[in-house]
Amino acid sequence: MGEQVFKRCVACHTIDKGGRNGIGPNLHGVVGAAVAAKPDFSYSGAMKAKGGVWDAATLDTYLEAPMKALPGTRMAFAGVIDAADRKALILYLEAHSK
C-alpha cells in the first residue's frame, strides 16, 4: 500500500538508492536521517532551520500537512490526510532507508 501512496510523490521525488533529486530530494534513506541532510539538494530556509531527524513521528506530522507543519517549506503538496495512508507511506520510506 505504501508504494501506491508514494505514487503521489513521484512528480517531485525519487526513492532509489543513488537516485537523482527532482524538484524535491531523493528520499532513499530519509527515515533516520537529519532534516535537510542531502548535500546535493538546495533546501528552503525553513527546512534548513527545522533541525532534528526524520523519524516516524516527525514524518507523520509533516506529511499530514507540510505547509502547516513547516511554514516556508517549498513542498507545495496538500498532504496525506488519511492516517492509514501516511503510516503505509512511512513504512515504505523505512523499507527504503536501509
pLDDT at 91: 98
Quick one: 98 exposed, middle or buried, by C-beta within 10 A (0-12, 13-18, 19+)?
Answer: exposed
pLDDT band for 26, please (50, 70, 90 cuts).
very high
Say what the alpha-carbon torsion angle 57, 61, 62, 67 is, to the nearest 10 degrees. Answer: -160
Q: Please say whether the structural domain 2-95 has been given the CATH code 1.10.8.50.
A: no
Residue 51 one-letter amino acid? G
Please report, rounded to a whole number, the percentage of residues in the chain having pLDDT higher than 90: 98
Domain extent listing, the chain: 2-95
pLDDT tens-digit series, residues 52-84: 999 999 999 999 999 999 999 999 999 999 999
Taking residue 19's Cβ as centre, other Cβ atoms within 10 Å add up to 14
pLDDT tens-digit series, residues 35-50: 999 999 999 999 999 9
> What's the mean per-residue pLDDT of the chain?
96
Nearest by Cα to 2 from 96, 86, 66: 86
pLDDT at 80: 98
pLDDT band for 98, please (50, 70, 90 cuts).
confident
